[in-house]
Chains A and B, each alone.
Chain A
Amino acid sequence: MSAPPICELKGVQKTFTGPRGKNLRVLEDINLQIHHDEVVAILGPNGSGKSTLLRLLAGLTPPSKGEVRAHRQRLRGLNPAVAMVFQDFALFPWLTVEENVRIGLRAKGLSEDEVRTKGHQAIAKVGLEGFEEAYPRELPRGSKQRVGVARALAVDPEVLVMDEPFSQVDALTAEGLRAELIDIWQDAERNPSSIVLVSHSVQEAVLMADRVVILSGNPTHIRTIVENPLPRPRNTRSRDYRVLADRIHDIITSAELPDVEVSGPSPANLPTPIEPIPHVGSSDVLGLLEFLETQGGSCDIYQIASQTQVSFESVLSMVKAAEMLNLVDTPKRGVKFNTLGLQFMEADIDERKDIWREQLLTLRLFRVVLELLQLREGELSKEEVIHEIAARLPMENSEQTFQTLVAWARFGELFAYREDKEILTSE
């Protein structure tokens, strides 16, 4: 493209200071340009820093390294070209619809007349005329997000930045909102010129975006950017559409569940590295296995997501967990029981727990914690475990890992945890 991008991220890295002053690197070497007249969707596993990327773009948080540019100028503070729509709507409950929409305009210090007209135009654009005097609590979720969109449109942004805008809205309403949003965007004369949206649904991305950015890894980087040349309006039943959706599913699956284990070189001076565990509860894994059984023992991961209404990323995490426990195999983008998995499904609850416990012991994380527990004679403080996790899995959220560890261990009766005293004890 010849025209300069509206805004771009150049070599951006983002680090958060985690608990105990440890640095948690979330994003690594992100390069992304947002051009005129395009819709960009960002896909990635849960907790991969999709939202952080969006906040960097909006100037809500500064990058730790690299720079964010708007119209070739390095950004210091908010990005003037961008307006944001939030996942949980973020409407002020004590202000009416109209007052909520006018917030950005008032902050710009426009005259009262301008505030009125622009606010009214934005409300009209999303079809909320007649609801001006209503309070957000009176509206259904879909309408709340309309207010969120109107608030963003009111300030006439070049780029509309949306953080999983329809994930809190029921499926049917979300369909309608997506179509309306594309209609608003397609009016080439007016802003927003471009839309960037974070999504948890491959369907949504393929339906709306011209480019789909796929994030993966830890720390997260851009794995690939898929161009979507399908003409609009897009038909979700067309062959091309399904081919593209499958391709994106394959890319994500192969990133998260590689068929061949990639073993990186491990530096000798670090403590023995242990494998991170996906943050899903034991009941989620059990649920997945039960569902798999109703599907005859094998299924496409993408099928599971669409049939259970669970997001693709969450299903991936569950499958990954089941795979780590050696209960399923994952050929390509499918998942099926292996011998142990079949045995597990036939077993009664006590036998299941036995199998689960044995499988936990094949994971290094659980062995390490169990050894510590024996070393401390059956009483281990949470703090020590967290410390150990933070030392051995510096890229992981140690608190979340701890919670998962406890949940899995409780189901396998490997060890017990007293929340009010914050200690692990042996069963």
Chain B
Amino acid sequence: MIHHLLHTLWGQASSLFGIPLHRRRWMDLFVIAAFTGLVMGFVLVARQWTGVQHPLVEIDLSPTALPKYALLSLVRASVALGISLSFSLSVAYWAAKDPLAEKVLIPILDILQSVPLLAFLPVVLLAMVRLFPHSNMGLELSAVLLIVTCQAWNLAFSFYQRLKTLPSGLDEAATAYGLSRIQRLRWLEIPFATPDLVWNAMVSVANGWFFLMASEAFNLGRDKDFRLPGLGAYMSSATERGDLLAQIYAILAMLVVVIVLDQLLWKPIVAWSQRFLIDESGSVERPRSWLLRILRRSELVVRIRLSLARLRPKPKPRLESAAVPHRDTTRLDRWMGTGILVACLFLMALVAFKLFEILAQVHRQEWLMLLGAGGSSLGRVLLSTTLATCWTLPVGLWIGLSPIWSKRLQSVVQIVASFPASLFFLPLTLWFLNRGVSLNVSAILLMAVSTQWYLLFNIIAGAQAIPASLRETAVAYDMGWWRTLWRLHFPAIFPQLIVGWVTAAGGAWNASIICEFVKARGTNLTTTGLGAIVTRSADQNNIPLLAAAALLMAGLVVLFNRLVWDPLLRLAENRYNISR
């Protein structure tokens, strides 16, 4: 099979030279070049991953080293996305098809989705390094694992929800024509879920960058430096050495990565995924991508696809009598599913038991201190969200309501939003401190900086979705700008605003881990807050306090979600849903 593939590939490549240039064959060359680059990148990464762990990572601050670091970060991010996708798709599929698993998995996913997982970074890091003491594998794996934990849940949720809301007509047609499970997945379930999955993958990757930049730059304790060679580590050592130029280089490199990803990956994928939209109204302008247009014209890609199609195994004819039974799952499947479920629960019970033991070591006074810190972190999160709302609401409305500006700024906002703010947390904090701003205040500012984009993005989307007829009504009845704002714009964007708040608050909790405690130039700076306690206790190897703080933060977030955000979301869904 491989031989066949190589033959077709090579055959195509050699025929390239004999063909007149005007037929856009340069695109084929580009495809080959990209493929080669990818292979070389992976070789580089493999060497790094299996390398012996150094106590201190030497970061080369010359700009020529940046492509290597960017590549290393990029590969970590993509490996993580691959793992996240396969993990979350299988979990979601399982939950959607097995009612028992559904009852157990969905609440767990729901909690994991909302909990600030960066709090668990130190825990994971310590565990992984202990597992692989002699190679970089442990560090690399913990970075990847961390990204996976922040990416997987929203992907799993979106796939699960799509599986549960298959259009009934198509679902029935698939059953009526006797599609097998694989065929169903391929022709019905995956295509139907694709637009949502693409969107969520974009969000996930942006999240992943935020986490990766944080985890690459993470150093714990005095004797060990857990930094991984990558953009995040480059930035942190540049900050440490006070090399302003290198800091700018790092930010530029990250920007280039984000833009390249946007142009070469997301734009084509989004444009391609349009064809999986069920909605048949063709009024909205469809997203386009120059790359996709060229790729579709590339002769090489077409040939490769054709030869791959030929390689597919021949279908075995199914017997006519083997009719599909009414129920979806067979008995064996169900038993296996239940078995895995029970095993998982058992494992979780073990972990919980162990955790209980650890938590028993935390004193009552420490708990009180933790509660107080939780309160001040919560205050910071809310303040930063309010702060971000103050400027994003008018700006978002303005952009969303103006067709010209939303067209111009859409991709800019998208790129800025996917830029990981965690990259410049450290330099920015130091800059603030030098200007006499306390860590308490700078933490709020940093949270706002990292989460404002979610808000802006959602408000723009909400404003764009206001039906033209309603806007015309407001003009026709001369409602005046204040009344229009109060009676039309606010209610119309309310659902998106709430979603934006939920996401922004979640992001702010994550940011609290990195921005409430700063370790720079040999000194530790800290302020009152749960995030500070998490990082500090990890630094001092105080496992019980670390576990207690991380769990308390998770509990606080879940509680807040249930008590505040959930009722608001329900209200938005029932009363301010414009599409109903």
- A16 near B: Cβ within 8 Å? no
- B325 near A: Cβ within 8 Å? yes
Contacts of B280 in A (CB 8 A): 93, 137
A93/B278 in contact, CB under 8 A? yes
B191/A59 in contact, CB under 8 A? no
A403 CB to nearest B CB, Å: 15
Q: Which of A60, A89, A109 is B318 in contact with, Cβ under 8 Å? A: A109
- B368 near A: Cβ within 8 Å? no
Contacts of B315 in A (CB 8 A): 106, 109-112
Q: Which of A78, A94, A95 is B176 in contact with, Cβ under 8 Å? A: A78
Q: Complex: how many Å from CA A89 to CA B170?
A: 9
- A108 near B: Cβ within 8 Å? yes
- A388 near B: Cβ within 8 Å? no
Q: What per-residue 1/0 map shows which CB atoms of A73-96 lie under 8 Å from chain B?
A: 000111010011010111111110
A62/B314 in contact, CB under 8 A? no
Contacts of A103 in B (CB 8 A): 173, 177, 179, 187
- B323 near A: Cβ within 8 Å? yes
Q: Complex: how many Å from CA A78 to CA B174?
A: 12
- B403 near A: Cβ within 8 Å? no
A92/B176 in contact, CB under 8 A? no
Contacts of A151 in B (CB 8 A): 177
B187/A95 in contact, CB under 8 A? yes
Contacts of A80 in B (CB 8 A): 320-321, 323
- B483 near A: Cβ within 8 Å? no
A76/B323 in contact, CB under 8 A? yes
Q: Complex: how many Å from CA A106 to CA B282?
A: 30
Considering only CB atoms and an 8 Å cut-off, how many residues of chain B contact the other chain?
33
- A377 near B: Cβ within 8 Å? no
- B178 near A: Cβ within 8 Å? yes
A86/B325 in contact, CB under 8 A? no
Q: Complex: how many Å from CA A426 to CA B192?
A: 45
- B548 near A: Cβ within 8 Å? no
- A155 near B: Cβ within 8 Å? yes
Q: What per-residue 1/0 map shows which CB atoms of A99-140 lie under 8 Å from chain B?
A: 000011011111110000000000000000000000101000
**Nearest CB to that of B317 among chain A residues?**
A109
Considering only CB atoms and an 8 Å cut-off, how many residues of chain A contact the other chain?
35
**Known contacts A76-B323, A77-B325: A107-B177 contact under CB 8 Å:** yes
B575 CB to nearest A CB, Å: 5
**Nearest CB to that of B173 among chain A residues?**
A90
Q: Which of A84, A107, A135 is B180 in contact with, Cβ under 8 Å? A: A107
Contacts of B183 in A (CB 8 A): 106-107
- A58 near B: Cβ within 8 Å? yes
- B110 near A: Cβ within 8 Å? no
A420/B575 in contact, CB under 8 A? yes
B331 CB to nearest A CB, Å: 15
B178/A86 in contact, CB under 8 A? no
Q: Complex: how many Å from CA A78 to CA B327?
A: 11
Q: Complex: how many Å from CA A106 to CA B176?
A: 13
- B188 near A: Cβ within 8 Å? yes
Q: Complex: how many Å from CA A61 to CA B172?
A: 10
B179/A107 in contact, CB under 8 A? yes
**Nearest CB to that of A155 among chain B residues?**
B177
**Known contacts A106-B183, A111-B317: A92-B323 contact under CB 8 Å:** no
A94/B275 in contact, CB under 8 A? yes
Q: Complex: how many Å from CA A60 to CA B323?
A: 11
A92/B191 in contact, CB under 8 A? yes
B191/A90 in contact, CB under 8 A? no
Q: Which of B175, B276, B277, B314 is A60 in contact with, Cβ under 8 Å? A: B175
- B326 near A: Cβ within 8 Å? yes
Contacts of A86 in B (CB 8 A): 169, 172-173
Q: Complex: how many Å from CA A84 to CA B183?
A: 18
Q: Which of B176, B179, B318, B326 is A62 in contact with, Cβ under 8 Å? A: B326
Contacts of A61 in B (CB 8 A): 326
Q: Complex: how many Å from CA A61 to CA B318?
A: 22
B290-322 with Cβ < 8 A to chain A: 314-318, 320-321
Q: Complex: how many Å from CA A103 to CA B187?
A: 9
Contacts of A60 in B (CB 8 A): 172, 175-176
A59 CB to nearest B CB, Å: 7
B169/A90 in contact, CB under 8 A? yes
- B574 near A: Cβ within 8 Å? yes
Q: Complex: how many Å from CA A233 to CA B177?
A: 32
- Which of A76, A88, A93 has most B Cβ within 10 Å? A93
A76/B276 in contact, CB under 8 A? no
Contacts of A55 in B (CB 8 A): 172
A59/B172 in contact, CB under 8 A? no
Contacts of A92 in B (CB 8 A): 170, 173, 187-188, 191
B179/A78 in contact, CB under 8 A? no
B281 CB to nearest A CB, Å: 10
A239 CB to nearest B CB, Å: 40
B169/A111 in contact, CB under 8 A? no
Q: Which of B277, B318, B324, B325 is A93 in contact with, Cβ under 8 Å? A: B277
- Which of A104, A107, A135 has most B Cβ within 10 Å? A107
Excluding A78-B175, A92-B173, A103-B177, 16 further A-B contacts by CB distance (< 8 Å) are A62-B326, A78-B178, A83-B177, A92-B191, A95-B187, A103-B173, A106-B183, A107-B177, A107-B179, A107-B180, A109-B315, A109-B318, A111-B314, A111-B315, A112-B314, A420-B574
Sampled A-B contacts (24; CB under 8 Å): A59-B323, A60-B175, A61-B326, A76-B323, A77-B323, A77-B324, A78-B175, A78-B178, A78-B323, A83-B176, A84-B173, A90-B170, A94-B191, A94-B276, A103-B173, A104-B177, A104-B178, A107-B180, A109-B316, A112-B315, A135-B275, A137-B282, A155-B177, A420-B574
- Considering the complex of A and B, which 6 residue pairs feature the smallest CB-CB distances, nearest first? A77-B323, A90-B173, A90-B169, A104-B177, A109-B318, A94-B191
Interface, chain A (partner B; CB < 8 A): 55, 58-62, 76-78, 80, 83-84, 86, 88-95, 103-104, 106-112, 135, 137, 151, 155, 420
